[in-house]
């Protein structure tokens, strides 16, 4: 089982990727996580990426694609994977095509989570993040003497700078101008599943699993 999860910022890709990986018994390949791991392990590509990151620059597509190739070749992907955070451009999609071809990966599912921009802005601009474990809640869940349900810390929740409304709108513009084109690129290449990402986490998960079983 191979899946690429796709959608706008804040639509819930990371949450669903973790749940689906657990339910399906496959690896969750988060591009941010594997980049940090490659740097930590000081792999050949990790060393190159570290030099670039330390300069405050973006890691080139070719290096990121190489790190993804290494991750997909790992034994933890023997039963499949869900790829979260890549590709974000047509050029990256073409690099991923080459990786899939070389690794003899067939026709993955592309799971696209849909949501209107106003819903995304409202969701992200009203969320708080635990500084200890990264758990996310909505502002209306935060009460006096609130204790994190994941790590049991108190007074640890804050609003991230990139959850400012104007920042979110800029991120969404980048998504519509660049990343959304990737979906059109894949429409006739992969098995596509579209799901309303504004529904509850449980409903979204079951909707994805149901459509996978039907395919």
Q: Is the peptide bond before 87 cis (omega within 30 degrees of 0)?
A: yes
Tokens of 170: 């800029």
Which residue, 150, 134, 192, 144, is CA-closest to 5?
192
36 is catalytic: no
Q: Strands 2-7 and 27-30: what pairing? A: unpaired
Residues 190, 6: Cα–Cα separation, whole Å: 13
Enumerate the β-bridge partners of residue 4: 83, 110
User: Of the residues 40, 47, 73, 160, which is catalytic?
Assistant: 160
User: Of the residues 36, 171, 191, 199, which is catalytic?
Assistant: 171
User: For the chain, what is the total number of helices (H) and then of strands (E)?
Assistant: 9, 8
Residues 112, 43: Cα–Cα separation, whole Å: 32
23 is catalytic: no
189 is catalytic: no
User: Of the residues 50, 88, 112, 123, which is catalytic?
Assistant: 88
User: Of the residues 48, 112, 123, 127, which is catalytic?
Assistant: 127
User: Of the residues 13, 48, 112, 123, which is catalytic?
Assistant: 13
Q: Which residues lie below 8 Å from residue 6, measured CB to CB, with a gap of 6+?
A: 13, 110, 111, 112, 113, 182, 183
Residues 134, 26: Cα–Cα separation, whole Å: 23
Q: Which residues lie below 8 Å from residue 145, measured CB to CB, with a gap of 6+?
A: 154
Instruction: Give catalytic residue positions.
Output: 13, 88, 127, 160, 171
């Amino acid at each position: 089982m191979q899946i690429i999860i796709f959608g706008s910022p804040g639509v819930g890709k990371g949450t669903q990727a973790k749940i689906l990986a657990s339910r399906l018994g496959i690896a969750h390949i988060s591009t941010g996580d594997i980049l940090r791991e490659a740097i930590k392990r000081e792999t050949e590509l990790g060393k190159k990426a570290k030099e670039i990151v330390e300069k405050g620059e973006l890691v080139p597509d070719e290096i990121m694609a190489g790190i993804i190739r290494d991750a997909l070749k790992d034994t933890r992907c023997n039963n499949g994977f869900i790829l979260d955070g890549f590709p974000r451009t047509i050029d990256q999609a073409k690099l991923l095509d080459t990786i899939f071809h070389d690794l003899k990966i067939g026709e993955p599912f592309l799971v696209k989570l849909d949501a209107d921009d106003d819903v995304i802005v409202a969701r992200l601009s009203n969320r708080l993040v635990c500084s200890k474990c990264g758990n996310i809640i909505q502002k209306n869940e935060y009460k006096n003497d609130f204790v994190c349900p994941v790590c049991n810390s108190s007074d640890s929740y804050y609003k991230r700078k990139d959850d400012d409304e104007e920042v979110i709108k800029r991120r969404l513009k980048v998504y519509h101008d660049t990343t959304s084109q990737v979906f059109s690129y894949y429409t006739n290449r992969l098995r596509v599943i579209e799901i309303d990402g504004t529904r509850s986490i449980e409903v979204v998960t079951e909707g994805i699993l149901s459509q996978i079983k039907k395919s």
